[in-house]
Structure 1
Amino acid sequence: MIVIMGIHIAPAAVADFHQVLNDHSRYWGERDLRSLHLLALVQEFGSTCMVARAEDGIRGYVFGFVTPDGTGYVHLIATRDDARGTGLGRRLYTAFAEAAERHGARKLKAITSVENTGSIAFHRSLGFDTKIVDDYNGPGRAMAVFHRDLPLTVSRP
């Protein structure tokens, strides 16, 4: 567990998953991404699914896993509306990267829609290479695909 400024970053539990879904709009605004939240990730890959807890609830989370080829794949990362700009996303990525390395990961990967300019800028600030891959998510559905080697060393913005 990582503790910084009253925020505890620790592996997610099933109850955390349900709390994140209950507070979905605090993390994602008007975008409804609940269908991307898979309880199986927390149940099967709990040691690489992290939540950042404070006295007032879950401020952010990252759900991911390590693939058989040694890639730490970040499926979802989000910070609550009142925690943005605090460096929490960077701390969550660091916690995920450390957990992924313990499970044999040598590199990191994530994807987002090409329209998600905030996510693209965030990943680039963490040192990820970015490629737009046509048809990545099906015909006519290009995605921004991020890659970088481990270890992940980040500093506050």
Structure 2
Amino acid sequence: MAIHIEPARIADFHQVLADHPRYWGDRDLRSLHVVALVQEFGPTCLVARAADGIRGYVFGFVTPDGTGYAHLIATRDDTRGSGLGRRLYAAFAAAAVRHGARRMKAVTSVANAGSIAFHRGLGFAVEVVDDYNGPDRPMAVFRHERPVDLTEG
């Protein structure tokens, strides 16, 4: 089945929220899904579309200092392990570079072992930053200094 990665539309945003458990399981991360990301940073918010719907997505933006920040990345439960997450990240990195990114960044909870392993597999350095998300709320912060080609390694 062909999967095409393309800029997200507002309707796509609403669809991934409607299908939230398919991407995130029991974790309720709907509050992290902000429609303004798609409205204001459309070229760096991408969906992986197939005939049977949205298989995955990445919502991100480029900061004023040239950091491509991947805010959310998810693949649907029936697509995990297919390499789509890596493809989405590579497409996001390419879009971010077109909009001035010179490096990449992402953040997750310190308990999210799957995300930590995924980002390490892409070559991101990981650092636990105490109080990153407020007092006594450490986060795993990922940094990658070469945003152009995340398909390596």
| Short-chain TM bin | over 0.9
Q: Aligned pair count?
A: 152
Instruction: Indicate the residue corresponding to 1:89 in structure 2.
Output: 85
Please name the residue that 1:38 is paired with: 34
Unaligned runs of 5+ in 1: none
Amino acid of the residue matched to residue 145 of structure 1?
V
Identity level (%): 74
The CA distance in 2 between the partners of 1:120 and 1:91, in whole Å, is 17
Q: Residue 111 of structure 2 is aligned with which of 115, 120, 138?
A: 115
The aligned counterpart of 2:55 is 59
Q: 1:56 to 1:155 in 2, by over 3 A?
A: farther
Matches within 5 A, 1:18-33: 18-33=14-29
Aligned partner (choices 71, 87, 94) of residue 75 of structure 1:
71
RMSD of Structure 2 on Structure 1 (CA): 1.0
2:28 counterpart SS class: coil
- Residue from 95, 98, 101 that aligns with 1:105: 101
Distance 1:151 1:131 in 2: 22
Q: CA deviation at 1:152?
A: 2.5
In the alignment, what sits opposite 2:151? 154
Q: Alpha-carbon deviations, 1:122-156, whole Å to 9, x = none?
A: 00000000000000000000000000112223158
Gaps of 5+ in 2: none
